[in-house]
Structures are given as C-alpha cells and as structure tokens.
Structure 1
Amino acid sequence: MTPKTPLDTITDLLASGNRSELARLLNVERSTVSGWANPKRRARGMCGTIPEKYIPGILEIAGSRDVLPEIRNLLLARRSNGNG
C-alpha cells in the first residue's frame, strides 16, 4: 500500500477526499491542487506536497472547522536510507 501524501491527508481531512473541494476552499483553480500531485509539474521529491504559500490557508480552514492537522501530516515523510 502506498503511503498517503500530505496532499492526500489534508484533502481527506478538510474536503472529504475531494481535491476540487479543497481547491474551492483555498480559492484556487482545481488544476492548481491537481498539479501538486503531478510529478511533471513538481520538483523532484515534492510530488504530493502542499506548497508553503498555501499552508496558512490550510491552517485557517482547519481552524474554522475545529480540526488541527498534525504538523507531520503537512510534511512529506522521507524514507530512511539507513544513514539516519
């Protein structure tokens, strides 16, 4: 099973898994949110992350719903290569 990305986790938490709804909540185009999951549109290793400039909006939406995402759910989990 593939681990959830920060985008997947936040979309589930705030928009019932619907990226179109997340885009609406953030007042951005649907393609903007879709692009965060597109490896061709993101820097290497950043696919599935939420760009920093949108984090305040995510936290505002979460706060208005009395939901507080764990900070680890906003960050991409890195795989350990055995070197720490």
Structure 2
Amino acid sequence: MGEFPELEITSPLFDKIVLRFPSLADPLQNTLFRISVKKKNPADIYIQHAILNGIKWSRFQFPVTDFLNGGELELELGPYPNKKWGKPF
C-alpha cells in the first residue's frame, strides 16, 4: 500500500456480501460495507458497471477510506468484458 491506499474491485463469488467491523469513529459501534451483484446468468463474470455509495464508478480501484467509513458497492456483471470500465485513472 502506498501513500493513498486503495482497494481493487473484482467479480465477487457471492451475490450479496455484508462486512461488519468496528467503526473508526467509535470502536464500540459497528460499520457496515455492503457489496451487491446484479447478473442475468451465473456465467456472467465481467464487471459492466459499478456504483460506489450512490455514485457511478468507472475505476477498478477505490480509496480504502470509502470502505472503512462504510457504504455500498453495487456491481453489474455481464458475459463479456466492458473495455470502457475499469480505467486506472
């Protein structure tokens, strides 16, 4: 991890994941980060679109602070790679 740590997005194994961990602001409280997947076919493995905390996201990375503060990542998967999605910058 560098000066600005980021997490990389890849196709998850599950259709819905909820991660629960201690809050940065108050370790006695929990923070949740949800990952949800939309796909039409079980063979759909390529990310077509992503929405991070309600904002269309076109990069394959996102700041670790967005994860640690809690939120939601919504992924839409398809049968073929979307070459317009996942640009590094």
Q: Tell me the TM-score normalized by structure 1.
A: 0.22
Higher helix share: 1
